[in-house]
Amino acid sequence: MRRPAMGAHGEACLMSRLAFRLVNVFALPGVPLSGNPLCVFEDGRGLDTQTMQALARQFNLSETTFLLPSERANARVRIFTPGYEMPFAGHPTLGSAAVCRALGLGGDTLQLEMAAGIIPVSALGARWTLTANAPRWRDPDIARERLAGLLGLEAEDLIERPLWVHTGREQLIVPLSCVAAVRRAAPDPQLFEQVRSAEGASMAYVFAPEDVRAGAGRYLARFFFPLGRSVLEDPATGSATANLGGWWLAMARSLPATLSLSQGEAVQRPSALQLEVGTDRAIRVSGEVIELGRGSVELGRGSVDL
């Protein structure tokens, strides 16, 4: 029998072993160290919000998730960045679904309960697809020239209509004129806070077709968000890809549409995402999920008298 670990003042601590899995989501097929990394804790029962947040900060990935029982779905999922909890995010949804299947909590078709609602997820082998919530959108309250400037771009780099779109989390979707403009984007940390979602978060997703003659085809995308006084870039952003689907609907683009999106180029973490917007106006986001490793951590859970 394991001997109780001793706390700082000599008390015995009950130890809890927490199993987790590391997965990469929106990975390139056959390239394990691609996509957006995610830590999934297999059983979050007994953990309070403060401990979940501390564990997410410990792993310091863009997101860490915790699986919990649900009366409405195959599992309930809580999503944490190192700094806060999120109601919905794309790559945590697909990665968590893959772990649920591996744990026998569901099969190739399952549902996940999140703060943003019930999210249907399905799989074909290692390729996972989520169906996003119906979108809503609104115009940004910032002039085009000012928006371009805070993104490190010229006004002529912005085409069509930037929109705040919400399919689970509101994000600013900004169409650009060409992939060269996408690559030039360099948000100014001092100005970036001028764009704020309804929840008060600053974030922007820029995209452009790789071939302007191709229409719905291959696209290059980047997603920016603040951390402290810096602006960081996400390797792959499923929620923003879903919001791009909402932008597609808002702009009355032709349906059905299938877009292959490349993201993560600028942060040396290549990722591949697929967006489908059906004639039924359903928005689906797909990508490969690769399990990279498993492990556990031990935490003291309270103390007992000797």
Catalytic pick from 11, 63, 154, 199? Answer: 63
For the stretch 21-61, pLDDT in tens is: 999 999 999 999 999 999 999 999 999 999 999 999 999 99
Q: How many CB atoms lie within 10 A of CB 117?
A: 14
For residue 58, the SS3 value is helix
Active site residue 63: yes
Shortest CA distance to 40 belongs to which of 84, 127, 102? 102
For residue 4, the SS3 value is coil
* Domains 5-130+289-304 and 136-280 belong to one CATH topology: yes
Shortest CA distance to 29 belongs to which of 203, 294, 290, 209? 290
Residues 5-130+289-304, CATH architecture: Roll (3.10)
Shortest CA distance to 166 belongs to which of 63, 283, 55? 283
Per the prediction, the chain carries an average pLDDT of 91
For the stretch 249-284, pLDDT in tens is: 999 999 999 999 999 999 999 999 999 999 999 999
| pLDDT higher than threshold 50 for residue 233 | yes
Model pTM above 0.75: yes
Q: Which residues contact 207 (CB under 8 A, 6 or more apart)?
A: 173, 174, 175, 176, 182, 219, 220, 221, 222, 244, 261
For the stretch 183-195, pLDDT in tens is: 999 999 999 999 9
CATH code: domain 136-280 is 3.10.310.10
Domain segments of the chain as ranges: 5-130+289-304, 136-280
Per the DSSP assignment, residues forming a β-bridge with 5 are 13
